[in-house]
Amino acid sequence: MAVLVGKKAPRFEAQAVVNGNEFVEKFSLDQYLGKKHVIFFFYPKDFTFVCPTELHAFQDNIEKFEKRNVAVVACSTDTEQSHWGWLQMSKEEGGIKGVKYPIVADTNKTISKNYDVLTGDFFYDENDQLQADNELVAYRGLFLIDKDGIVRHQVVNDLPLGRSVEETLRMVDALQFTEEHGEACPADWNADKDGLKATHEGIADYLSSH
């Protein structure tokens, strides 16, 4: 698994569905450079069971991300038509109707591969036929990207393990706090706590007060 933290987020242009029903060609995260932080997350497949809980959870908290000037973008290896169809289904039917943030179609799987969240391996057999050792979908990868396009945080879950939106918001707060104040964020830090000055005196003061 590649560690992308501290590196430029891999660039891409791909089809996407935005606002729940609009097709966009050549969607790119470049539009947010210099303007917004980005939460870019992958999920395995449309029309599944854990995935809609995550997509709805991010939508339910979208105002919290917008308040922090953070764009939320999802991605899976399904087609844009599949995304659109799922977006037309209600939550009661197992759909994701109401989700408004962009959903990218990584149909050729290059985005998932470049972010190193693609399950399985593909290879050519002795007959020069392309094969895969299992279904090629994306793990539940999540990347926090700053305004300069640098990955500052990543987490990758196995397929059955859903993520915490609250933890994602905590990491956004931590990054924005360090950017604004130049202080580090110690264990279990949240926005109600002080930061940590990265000096021997700062560490001693923090430990003595907690």
Would you name the residues annotated as active-site residues? 51
Which of 100, 56, 111, 37 is closest to 78 using CA atoms? 111
Query: In angstroms, rounded to a whole number, what is the distance separating the alpha carbons of residues 61 and 65?
Result: 7
Q: Give me the residue label for tokens 């994602």.
A: 168
Q: Give me the residue label for tokens 């991300």.
A: 65
Q: Mind giving me the DSSP string for 132-183? A: ESS---B-EEEEEE-TTSBEEEEEEE-TT-PPPHHHHHHHHHHHHHHHHH--
Query: In angstroms, rounded to a whole number, what is the distance separating the alpha carbons of residues 8 and 184?
Result: 22
Which token pair is 100? 């408004």
